[in-house]
Structure 1
């Protein structure tokens, strides 16, 4: 707008000044939308359709960019029209190369008739209609999913403020490691939050484990805690399922699963599915070895998942496949009193925290040692490394996968897959 305004005032060359003065006399069309030399760019911006819509689009772009930043998403989750005129055809045509330096001869010689301008043919709809149709179809599909009835099969409140919801929805099918969006109208009709499913495809329900983090989850847990025993929970909308990298876990002969805190949820689904496959003697199970790592800051976080590991541990031993699942639990937050308690029970057959035969490790894993051990035990395998955890851990594991992958394609290779939370 400043360029338009300055051209209108004659602050540039003679050509721009002459073009800006078109339509000051009869039988001419304008090129410069600013028709007065006494106006200001700010006035034009806020008093014309092109200007107002331009401001709105710019503000919308700023909002989109800022709200997509990680710090905003984590802390504040809730939070065109163009003037394009082209020259029309004249007879004889306007010879730009001859007339550009001779505006005083326009309309006086045959090579330089007065140039005529008109708005360009509207083409935006051709680019918008396709995506808009797809978007509307997607919204209709999500609305239909939202309206489908969802029943509560079981509501369990685990230690460490972890809520387990077992839901039943007609026609729902899933794969391991997938996630769904949940909506609770009693809290907010517009908010949809993603949660990884902890149930297996072989089960007739879907389950999610929800940790108390943020306003929405805290409100949901508070509502559930106030329910009378045996009552159904608040109305819940379920949209999904949606795919993740964890779906590919059974494509590898050897899989390395790493979960941090509540990031263990996709691996709960995977380990449950493995249990069902062994139970049914599924011949399509390609995976022959799984290494599972779980990192937690506090002891209570292990409690809700230890039951599943105990079942798997017993099942593998009964089938003579104790080496199929190797799991290591790491407690990253502990004090001296806890350490003393562990030392007293060090010789017990089972771990004092989880009740498992595999003892809990204290501190963080030595990833160099772990990768070296896996490579040694699987000298010719392709190892799929799957993480659900923070970005810092993802960076570390990705570097280790590169470091311990052999150049020789006949030897061990690590492929990294991640989903951050």
Structure 2
């Protein structure tokens, strides 16, 4: 229960507060329009459809105010810096993409309610001409004039609702922004992001059209309110329509369109976003040079880059831009170089059109060293923080990566060892457990040099127990390799990796691993950092909570990489 309170409760407090605000806005707006005397006649025609439409619109204003903030990376980095001493608040900033998705789901829900309500609105407005209620007919048949007498925007009897919708700015803009929303959400699935990133990237930028349409959606002011309730109280005069204009206390009702307010809500986040883009543009102009390209197995290649005055914390990531491939696209890559190194290093897996084109531009398959002037021009945006920055806040760090998901931890391992070897007495971190699950032996090769170096350095300093690394090979060996593995099993170094720690074959038994960690580090705080697929992330998250509850004093804090 203790781990749930620390690890889960802050998230659900944030979500609950956000849901309560949405609920409060919806209910408050609903009853405001239901009870406001200025909308008496409009309610008389369309009923509660007006209230649902305006309540959902108010929630859309609030959530469109929020939707841009989690993806303003420099803004989040600024907040992360101001929360440096508040670990719990800082951890919530690592969930910014999760919150961004929740807000998007709420926008979809409120959009659906808004569309449904206005569909009923237009049907009721058309039917008002044939209404058996004399008051509805009277208010509908008010003459259209420059003084704004009319209330019903449908001015043709017996018309079609679809035709009337497309006669209005609200109708046309509503269709456009709804189509944009459908494309943005449908292209944001994990499969499309993973295998068709360019499609996800381009369709996501339809948010510009969405926001423009959102701002102009209400500019025509077809939702009209009564302006002369003091000289025409609708609750008293709506049944006396024969006296309108002749009785001093029932003058002809006057109406005016409501002024649009959506732009007020999104003004601040749009300004923040524009500043964000300005910072990114400035960074894109700074000189960046590719100094070396290294080809690795498993369709992975390494870029070594130099940029003046660049510094990054362990586990952070950058965005790469190559104008010769695309003038607009920026792609995220985790830094595998340690803080303080002269060269920035990233490992790129060749999946998708953009990474393949980058590999060709960098002459990866040519097998010969290419001079810097032959390399394509690139730009860097970042670095940006991830949860691995907080690994020093725990007694024990448990690093878990699958496949190429190990890249954040290459930088972390280098940095952790550097700090431990120079300032071990000042560090809260006492142990590091590294787990890497990979499908083929060739995938290990590019990290072997780092692990071998760390093993040698720890042995020299007598700190061999500080870092334990566990490599799990899930496939990729044949019968001959299996015989060779068995034959050399008793040797000091592993037959596959050449490391002192032996390779495990098959998938990890995570429940037993966490149980052993809880016993071995009894009473300590363990930070679990994971980079990999969602299915395994869910399992590891549950195990953190389970073994924190079942153990005595041991606490597992779960952190997942999001970028």
TM-score of the aligned structures, taking structure 1 as reference length = 0.93
- The 5-angstrom pairing of residues 21-36 of structure 1 reads 21-24=141-144, 29-36=149-156
Superposition CA RMSD, Å: 2.2
Contact 2:311 2:340 in 1 (8 A): no
Q: What's the counterpart of residue 332 of structure 1?
A: 474
Q: What's the counterpart of residue 394 of structure 2?
A: 252
Q: What's the counterpart of residue 14 of structure 1?
A: 134
Three-state SS of the structure 1 residue aligned to 2:455 is helix
Contact 1:257 1:267 in 2 (8 A): yes
Cα 1:132/1:303, change in 2 over 3 Å: same
User: Unpaired runs of 5+ in structure 1?
Assistant: none
Distance in 2 between residues matched to 1:303 and 1:23, nearest whole Å: 81
Q: 1:220: how far off?
A: 1.4
- For the pair shown, the structure with the greater C-alpha radius of gyration is 1
Q: What's the counterpart of residue 287 of structure 1?
A: 429
Q: Select the structure that is richer in strand.
A: 1
Out of 313, 323, 335, the position equivalent to 2:455 is 313
Cα 1:6/1:67, change in 2 over 3 Å: same
- Is 1:271 aligned with 2:413? yes
Distance in 2 between residues matched to 1:124 and 1:347, nearest whole Å: 71
Out of 499, 508, 526, the position equivalent to 1:365 is 508
User: Unpaired runs of 5+ in structure 2?
Assistant: 1-120, 200-215
1:370-405: per-residue Cα shift (whole Å, max 9, x none)? 112211211110111110111111111111111111
Out of 225, 230, 236, the position equivalent to 1:86 is 225
Q: What's the counterpart of residue 241 of structure 1?
A: 383
Q: What's the counterpart of residue 94 of structure 2?
A: none
Q: 1:129: how far off?
A: 2.3
- The 5-angstrom pairing of residues 102-141 of structure 1 reads 102-141=240-279
Distance in 2 between residues matched to 1:236 and 1:28, nearest whole Å: 58
- Is 1:145 aligned with 2:288? no
Contact 2:394 2:429 in 1 (8 A): yes
Q: What's the counterpart of residue 84 of structure 2?
A: none
Distance in 1 between residues matched to 2:380 and 2:470, nearest whole Å: 33
Cα 1:9/1:78, change in 2 over 3 Å: farther
- Is 1:183 aligned with 2:321? yes
97-106 vs 285-294, which moves further: 97-106
- Is 1:100 aligned with 2:273? no
Out of 38, 47, 50, the position equivalent to 2:170 is 50
Cα 1:40/1:318, change in 2 over 3 Å: same
Contact 2:126 2:154 in 1 (8 A): no
Q: What's the counterpart of residue 162 of structure 1?
A: 300
1:174-194: per-residue Cα shift (whole Å, max 9, x none)? 111111111111211111111
Distance in 1 between residues matched to 2:561 and 2:518, nearest whole Å: 23
Distance in 1 between residues matched to 2:166 and 2:480, nearest whole Å: 68
Cα 1:25/1:317, change in 2 over 3 Å: closer
Contact 2:126 2:159 in 1 (8 A): no
273-282 vs 141-150, which moves further: 273-282
Out of 388, 400, 405, the position equivalent to 2:543 is 400
- Is 1:216 aligned with 2:216? no
Contact 1:331 1:360 in 2 (8 A): yes
224-233 vs 213-222, which moves further: 224-233
Distance in 1 between residues matched to 2:462 and 2:542, nearest whole Å: 35
Structure of greater relative contact order (alpha carbons < 8 Å, 6+ residues apart): 2
Three-state SS of the structure 2 residue aligned to 1:112 is coil
- Is 1:229 aligned with 2:384? no
Distance in 2 between residues matched to 1:420 and 1:341, nearest whole Å: 39
Q: Select the structure that is richer in helix.
A: 2
Distance in 1 between residues matched to 2:189 and 2:231, nearest whole Å: 52
Three-state SS of the structure 2 residue aligned to 1:264 is helix
1:350-386: per-residue Cα shift (whole Å, max 9, x none)? 1121110111100011112211221121111011111
Cα 1:309/1:63, change in 2 over 3 Å: same
Cα 1:24/1:380, change in 2 over 3 Å: closer
Distance in 2 between residues matched to 1:297 and 1:344, nearest whole Å: 22
Q: 1:251: how far off?
A: 0.8
Contact 1:5 1:40 in 2 (8 A): no
Q: What's the counterpart of residue 348 of structure 1?
A: 491
198-207 vs 276-285, which moves further: 276-285
Out of 55, 68, 80, the position equivalent to 2:188 is 68
Contact 2:195 2:351 in 1 (8 A): no
Distance in 1 between residues matched to 2:132 and 2:451, nearest whole Å: 77
Matched residue count: 419
Cα 1:284/1:148, change in 2 over 3 Å: farther
Distance in 1 between residues matched to 2:233 and 2:529, nearest whole Å: 66
